Structure 1
Amino acid sequence: MPHLPTRFVGIIIAFAPLFVHRSWKHAQVLLIGALLAPGQRTVASLLRIAGLSRERHFVNYHRVLSRAAWCPRAGARILLGLLVDTFVPDGPMVIAIDDTIERRRGRRIKAKGIYRDPVRSSDAHFVKTSGLRWMSLMLLAPIPWAGRVWALPVLTALAPSERFCQERGHRHKTLLDWGRQMALQARRWLPGRDLILVTDSGFSALLFLDAMRRGGITAITRLRLDAALYEPAPMRLPGTLGRPRRKGARLPTLAEILAATSTHWRTVRVPGWYGAAERTIEITSATAVWQHGGLPVVPIRWVLIRDPLNRFAPQALLCTDPTRDPAQIVRWFVRRWQVEVTFQEARSHLGIETQRQWSDKAIARTTPCLLALFSIVTLMASRLPARERRQVEQAAWYRKPQPTFSDTLAAVRRAIWREQAFVTSRRRSDSTKVRFALPDAWAYALCHAA
C-alpha cells in the first residue's frame, strides 16, 4: 500500500479522532486511493490503485462509508480549522453557499429527484435532470501559488426534494433552510471572526438575510432592480399612540436611479471579474431599508453596477452591513464565481458522479468526502516546496500562465509516487541488480487512465 510523505501526515492525522483504530486504517487507504486513482472513484478502483486488488476482506473498506460510526460534520470542523490557519489566519473571512446537482441514476438511490439543470438550462431553455441535490459551504481563500481565489469545500449536505420528505414523513427543508443552518454552523465554529457570506439571487430573501444579520454574518447577494426600498423609520416622539413605525418614506427604485441623468457614478477596477484579469465598472451606492409586508425589516447598503462598454446588463447587489465600502462589496461578490469552478474541477478530476454506492449512508458521505478532497489536496500542496507547487503543464498550443487545480493535484501525486519509488535500503556487499518490474498500481494508473 502507498504511504504518504511525512509533510502530508500532519494534515491527515488531524482526522484520526473521527474513527476507531481499525476504521482509521481503512479510511487512510481510501484517502490515498482517491488521491491517486484516475477516472472513477469507486471503492474497487481505490483498492486497485493502492495495490490491494487481491485483498480478501475488501468489504471492510466499503463499510467505512456505509456502516462505520464517524461524523462528517465533525470532520468538516477540523477541515475548516486547517484551511483557516493555512490560508486566512486573520482579517475578514469570505464564505459562499451554493447548491449543485449530481446526476445519478438507479432504483436504489432513494433521495434522487427531478431538478432544473443549471448547467444545461438558460433563460429561454429549461432542462430537467434526475439526480441528487447537494448544498455546499465553501471558503473563498486566496491561493498564493495560483495567483487567484479558490473555493475550498468544507461542509456539504444532501438536500432532498419535497416529495422525498413527504413520502417518509420528514419535515422538508428548503435551500434557504439548509443555507441558514450551514452559515450559522460556521458562525459557531468561528465565533471571533468577521464572516462575509456571498450567495446568488436564490438567497435574496428577507427571512434569510435577517437571520444572517442577527447571527453576526454579513450577507452579500443580488437585489432586484424593482425592490421596494424605504428610508429608515423616523424617531418616535414621546406620547405617540399606536405601534412604532417600521419604515420611512418610499425611495425610488434602482431602475429609476439607473435611468436618472443626475445619478453620480464612480469608476472602480475589479480584479478577477468572472475569470477575467480585471474589469473596469461604474458603481453608485446608498443605504436603505428593505421591507415587505409581514416580513422582517432589513437595513442594507445597495450597490448598482453598470458597464461603461455595455458588455453586461446593469445589476444590483445588497449588503446587510450598511457600513461596508461599496467597492469592497463588489470585490467580495465576484469571488462567488469560483464556486462553479470548484464544482466543475471536482467533476473532472475527483470523480464526482462516478461513484457507485447504493446505501443511504454511503451516498450521504461519499460526495461530501470527494468535495472535501479538493480542499485536502490544496492543503497538501501548501506543504510542498514552492517550485513543485508552481509547476504548470505547458504545451506548444496551450499557454497556461498560472497553475490550476489539475496542476496542484499532479504535484501532490508526484510527491506520493516519489515516496514509493525512491526508498533507500541498507547497503549490502552481495547485492545484485534486480530487473525492474512495473508495479501493479502503476500499470493500473498508466493503462487505465481513461
Structure 2
Amino acid sequence: MVRPIVLPKSFVAWLWPYLEAFSGRTRATVAALAVGAVLAVGPRTVANALRALGLADEPGFATFHRVLNRNAWSGLVLARTLLHALVGAFVPDGPVVIGVDHTLERRRGPCIRPASQYYDAVRSSKKRRVTSHGLRWLTAMLLVEVPFAGRIWGLPVLTALTPSRSWCQEHGRHYRSVNDWARAVLRRLHRWLPERLVVAVMDGGFAALDLLDALSPSIIVVTRLRLDAALFDPPPAEQHYGRPAVKGARQPSLRARLSDPETVWRRAVQASRTQWRTGGWIEYASGTALWYHAGKPVVPILWVLVRYPDGRREPEAFLCTDPTVPPRTVLE
C-alpha cells in the first residue's frame, strides 16, 4: 500500500485541468508523479521522481509505474489542454506559430521494438553522414518569445512516434511516412484551434507537394526550398485548344537567380533567434510562382532567396504557401 501524499490545494487546483484526463483512482498518483518530476534532478523517470518524493523504498512503488504502462488515459486530451493553456498565456491573439520537426531518441535493446536505424542529424556533418539506432519522434512545438528569456522557445505540445517501414511490415501495421504524420498532427492542431490561423514552420524534409497541397488554407507552411525546384508562371488566361493548362512558362531556377544581374536584392538585418550570435546583414530576393512536379499537385508559393554577403553561410531559399505574406515576415 502506498503512503498517501498530501499536496497543497493551490497546486492541485493548478494541475486539475490535466488531472481530468485520468480516472478518479489514478489522479492522486499522477499528482504525486508531477511533483516528483518537478523536484527530480536528472532524467525525469519514475524512479527519479520517487527518490525526490522519498518513496524509493516503498513496497507499492509499482503503483506509480502502472500509471504509464497499464492505466487508461488519453495523451491527446493532455496535449489539447496543454496547447490551450500555452496559447492563452503566450499567444492570446494573432497567428499561432507551430514548429514541426523529427528528433531521434537513441535507444538499444530487445525491448525497444519500434527502434530502427535512422539518420542522425546531430552527429552528422557536411563531410560525414551518420546513422544511429533508436526511436524517431515527430514533435509539434509552440514557437513563442518567452518574456523572461528574451528569445524564442519551442514548447512541445504534441509528439508522435513514427515507426520504420520495416517494423510496420514485420508486425502487420500500416506504414505512415513522416510527411503523413506531419499532415495528421497539423490537422489535429487546427481542429483544436479552429478560429486561429496556424503557421507551421518546418525544415526542408517536409517540403513535399503532397503535404503542402493536402493542408487546409487556414494552415500556412513556411519551410526550406531546394535551389533547383521547378517553378512556373501562372497558366495563361485564354487557351483556345487542348487540355486546360495547369502552369505557364518555366521560371529561372533559384540557383540561376543567384548569379543573374537582373535579380533585385534587398538588404536587411538577419531576422532570426541567432541574431545575437551573428548580427550580420543578409540580402534577399522574393517572388511568386507555381511549384510543380510531374505527377504531383500544383502549389502556389512565395519564394524567398537569401544570400550572405560575408560568405558565412551558403545561400538558401524558403517558401510560404500564402503568396500574399510579406517576405520579411517569412524570414522572421
* TM-score band, normalised by shorter chain: over 0.9
Aligned with 2:220: secondary structure? strand
AA at the equivalent of 1:229? L
Match of 1:12 in 2: 15
Unaligned runs of 5+ in 2: none
Q: Deviation at 1:200? A: 0.4
1:162 aligns with 2:194: no
Q: Deviations over 1:104-123 (max 9, x none)?
A: 12111111111121111112
Match of 1:141 in 2: 144
In the alignment, which of 221, 224, 230 is matched to residue 223 of structure 2?
Answer: 221
Match of 1:429 in 2: none
AA at the equivalent of 2:331? V
CA distance in 1, matches of 2:319, 2:130: 30
Q: Deviations over 1:44-95 (max 9, x none)?
A: 2211111222322111111100011101011100000000000000011110
Report if the CA contact (8 A) 1:15-1:75 is conserved.
Answer: yes
Match of 2:52 in 1: 49
Of residues 91-100 and 241-250 in structure 1, the stretch that sits farther from structure 2 once superposed is: 241-250
Match of 2:326 in 1: 325
Q: Deviation at 1:42? A: 2.7
AA at the equivalent of 1:253? S
AA at the equivalent of 1:222? R
Of residues 129-138 and 262-271 in structure 1, the stretch that sits farther from structure 2 once superposed is: 262-271
Q: 1:281 to 1:111 in 2, by over 3 A?
A: same
Report if the CA contact (8 A) 1:273-1:279 is conserved.
Answer: no
Q: 1:173 to 1:275 in 2, by over 3 A?
A: farther
Q: 1:280 to 1:10 in 2, by over 3 A?
A: farther
Q: 1:215 to 1:2 in 2, by over 3 A?
A: farther
Match of 1:441 in 2: none
Q: 1:276 to 1:39 in 2, by over 3 A?
A: same
In the alignment, which of 129, 145, 151 is matched to residue 126 of structure 1?
Answer: 129
In the alignment, which of 55, 72, 75 is matched to residue 72 of structure 1?
Answer: 75
Question: Which fold has the larger relative contact order, with Cα–Cα distance below 8 Å and residues 6 or more apart in sequence?
Answer: 1
Q: Deviation at 1:269? A: 1.7
CA distance in 2, matches of 1:10, 1:275: 40
AA at the equivalent of 2:33? L
CA distance in 2, matches of 1:150, 1:55: 38
CA distance in 1, matches of 2:86, 2:178: 25
1:235 aligns with 2:237: yes
CA distance in 1, matches of 2:285, 2:241: 38
Q: Deviation at 1:241? A: 4.2
CA distance in 2, matches of 1:271, 1:264: 19
Report if the CA contact (8 A) 1:176-1:203 is conserved.
Answer: yes
Q: Deviation at 1:4? A: 5.5
CA distance in 2, matches of 1:83, 1:176: 25
Unaligned runs of 5+ in 1: 332-450
Aligned with 1:115: secondary structure? strand
Report if the CA contact (8 A) 2:12-2:31 is conserved.
Answer: no
Q: 1:220 to 1:47 in 2, by over 3 A?
A: same
In the alignment, which of 90, 94, 100 is matched to residue 93 of structure 2?
Answer: 90
CA distance in 2, matches of 1:168, 1:235: 52
Q: Deviations over 1:329-385 (max 9, x none)?
A: 001xxxxxxxxxxxxxxxxxxxxxxxxxxxxxxxxxxxxxxxxxxxxxxxxxxxxxx
Q: 1:309 to 1:46 in 2, by over 3 A?
A: same
AA at the equivalent of 2:287? A
Report if the CA contact (8 A) 1:4-1:32 is conserved.
Answer: no
CA distance in 1, matches of 2:122, 2:87: 30
CA distance in 2, matches of 1:56, 1:70: 24
CA distance in 2, matches of 1:231, 1:135: 34
Q: Deviation at 1:272? A: 3.5
Give aligned-pair identity as a percent: 46
TM-score (norm 2): 0.94
In the alignment, which of 204, 213, 217 is matched to residue 207 of structure 2?
Answer: 204
Aligned with 1:108: secondary structure? coil
Report if the CA contact (8 A) 2:151-2:273 is conserved.
Answer: no
Q: Deviation at 1:98? A: 0.5
Q: Deviation at 1:216? A: 2.1
AA at the equivalent of 1:267? R
AA at the equivalent of 1:286? G
Report if the CA contact (8 A) 2:97-2:200 is conserved.
Answer: yes
Higher helix share: 1
Match of 1:303 in 2: 304
AA at the equivalent of 2:307? R
Q: Deviation at 1:215? A: 4.6
Q: 1:130 to 1:248 in 2, by over 3 A?
A: same
CA distance in 2, matches of 1:125, 1:83: 39
Q: 1:282 to 1:328 in 2, by over 3 A?
A: same
CA distance in 2, matches of 1:60, 1:243: 67
Q: Deviation at 1:234? A: 1.5
AA at the equivalent of 1:166? Q
Computing the radius of gyration over CA atoms, which structure comes out larger, 1 or 2? 1
Aligned with 2:26: secondary structure? helix
Report if the CA contact (8 A) 2:152-2:273 is conserved.
Answer: no
Following TM superposition, the consecutive aligned residue runs of length 4 or more in structure 1 with deviations greater than 6 angstroms are none
